[in-house]
Amino acid sequence: MPSPSEASSAAPAPLLLRLALRAYPPVDRRGYGDELVEAALELADGRSGYVREAGGLLQGGIEARLARLRLGLGAVDLLAALRRLTLPLTALVTMIWSAAAAARINGATIDWADRGPTAGSVVLLTLLALLILGVARAQRGIATFAATALFLQILASALWYTARGGTVTASPSVHLNIGWWWFGPNVTWSLLPLVLLLVLACWRMRPAAPRLPDVPRPLTEQGAVRLLIIVLPAVLFGVLLHYAPQYVVQGRETTQLPGLLVLIAVVATLWVARAVPGGRERAATAAALVGMGASPSIAYGAARLVLSPLGSFVENRDLVVALNLLMAVLLMVVAAAIFLAVLAAVGLRVIDRRGGSPLAVGHAIPLGPDHTASPD
């Protein structure tokens, strides 16, 4: 009898089985793919049997992929990755409000232009200052409190948003006008998942190590350096936008800022994830987490981009909005799935480095001349 690979070119039924085998992850196909097809060929009785076996291989392949996903996600060190996010996410949040402040000062946004400081803005600035202080000094309690309060305030703004910004708003209505191709969702909704990540990151932040005489602290643990990492990008960004008002326009419901910033993180995610064998799992995991947090932003923006030509053909605006929302949800699921897959891939590489997993049948005994024995 020919081997499955030989038979596949000759008969359509084994070809069907070979195609169905593609549902399995590559590592499983390499480990026991031939054995699976052999068993399927033996178990199939006639043409209907081949179809049934192909269905079985499809189902088995999907289950094997899900099992690997679970295994990979279980091996990811999320807590360590979260710790890494404290500084960058604080810097990101500070940058967003620094841009809002710049927009307000140069009059690019009318939402806040005609009113004095509101209770909401005072609370916001106080919380932001507390967050920066807590993170810079690695004081977990203060940082977690400020991040949580900030999250709740943003949630309140998102739920009771008005075009005028609202009295308790933490949502500056900033619109970055960097090109016709870029769209983003309401700043509050884009920020929510990222600030939630920040809350978790602050909660898992390592407290500052006690000062020891004659032992210099690592650079990233020095308060002044941490403060600089948070504040400097925000100041630079704010100044840039202040002197380039043409890039900031009044936005009622949309803003591009978080989307743009997290897009950088997304590119970094994919880049870092590719370089994981170098041992940068935590960085890759952190970047994938940010990517997942950014998924709503990216999905909403991409959906608007895809559907924008529809606007000139379809007069029913409600239909366009509904289609936009539907496509955004679909794209969000796709984006989240991609980042989950990145996380699982990172976890599986960690497992591989530790000596592999017993999950896949055939991993324990590699096929080869040393392991074969003649039948009696």
Partner 1 sequence: MAALTESTYFVLAALAREPMHGYGIAKLAGDLSDGRVKLTAGTLYGVLARLVERGQIVEDRVEVVSGRARRYYRLTPSGRELLTDETERLRATAKTVRERLNAEPERS
Binding interface with partner 1 (CB under 8 A): 1, 3, 20, 32, 34-40, 42-43, 52-53, 55-61, 63-64, 67, 358-362, 364-365, 367, 371-375
For residue 219, what is the DSSP state?
G
Q: How far is the CB of 345 from partner 1 (least distance, A)?
A: 19
Q: How far is the CB of 4 from partner 1 (least distance, A)?
A: 9
Minimum CB distance to partner 1 smaller for 59 or for 162 = 59
Instruction: Work out the angle at residue 303's Cα, subtended by the Cα atoms of residues 297 and 307, and round it to the nearest 5 degrees.
Output: 150
Q: How far is the CB of 71 from partner 1 (least distance, A)?
A: 9
Minimum CB distance to partner 1 smaller for 42 or for 253 = 42
* CB-CB contact of 158 with 152 (8 Å): no
Question: Smallest Cα–Cα separation from 61: which of 37, 86, 96?
Answer: 37
* CB-CB contact of 57 with 36 (8 Å): yes
Tokens of 193: 């998942």
Minimum CB distance to partner 1 smaller for 36 or for 328 = 36
Minimum CB distance to partner 1 smaller for 67 or for 123 = 67
Q: How far is the CB of 18 from partner 1 (least distance, A)?
A: 13
Grouping H, G, I as helix, E, B as strand and the rest as coil, residue 74 is helix
What is the separation, in whole angstroms, between the first and last Cα of the chain?
21
- For 54, other C-beta atoms within 10 Å of its C-beta total 21
Minimum CB distance to partner 1 smaller for 233 or for 362 = 362
**CA–CA separation, 267 vs 239, rounded Å?**
25
Q: How far is the CB of 49 from partner 1 (least distance, A)?
A: 9
